[in-house]
Amino acid sequence: MRTPDDKLAARRREQILAAAYRCFVRTGFHSTGMKAICTEAGLSPGAVYRYFPGKSDIISALVASEQKHVDRALEKLASAKDPAKALVRFAGQLAKDACKEPENILATEIFAEACRDQQIAAILRASEQALVEALHRWIVSAVQAKTLALHIKPLDMAQLVVSLGYGVSSYHLLDQRFGASKAAELVQQAVKAQIQHG
């Protein structure tokens, strides 16, 4: 059972993360200092540093929060009656979510920072590796159960789904006419092409 102190701590963390999110989207990750996050959150530096010693800790928490969302989508896959359709649906939703604004702007900022900061690169690598591995395990299970047949290896399929999501997100930022629905449609077509039918 959570105590009042636990609830306050959780609220404070969410308050800081929301403030950091707004700052990163507005001025960019690299240009945002902890002082700006403190001001945006309406908290003293001591209060913020108590929960997050640095920006990389904030990024870690933001990535973990996004991972929970993806984990819920992966849980739906586990109970799918038609793995082929479920995989195509999952890939399309991943692509659509990757094109959401301002989330895709923040994701691009974090990826750019990961090129300069090895700690942030490690956080992202661990998160994406966890996603690919979880998706890979599910695909292997479906292939072994003979409810899914592929033209490519299960690991290649898992990597294809994830990498396509990132690709369409970047393209969407460059061309606003390329909407989330179109991104999902193209990704689904690419995934379908690697599934054996009939």
pLDDT at 5 over 80: no
Return residue ranges of the chain for CATH 1.10.357.10: 56-192
Report the CATH superfamily, name and number, of domain 1-53: Homeodomain-like (1.10.10.60)
Question: pLDDT (tens digit, 9 = 90+) per residue, 10-35?
Answer: 999 999 999 999 999 899 888 899 99
CATH H-level superfamily of 56-192: Tetracycline Repressor, domain 2 (1.10.357.10)
Partner residues linked to 195 by β-bridges = 150
Q: Which residues have C-beta within 8 Å of that of residue 180, sequence separation ≥ 6?
A: 95, 96, 99, 100, 172
Tokens matching residue 192: 């379908």
pLDDT tens, position by position, 96-147? 999 988 888 888 888 888 898 898 899 889 989 999 999 999 999 999 999 9
Percentage helix, strand, coil for the chain under 3-state DSSP, each rounded to 5: 75, 0, 20
The pTM of the full predicted model, rounded to 2 decimals, is 0.86
Q: Are 92 and 188 in contact (CB under 8 A)?
A: yes
**Mean of the pLDDT values across residues 158-177?**
91
HSE-CB of 34 using CA atoms within 13 angstroms? 16
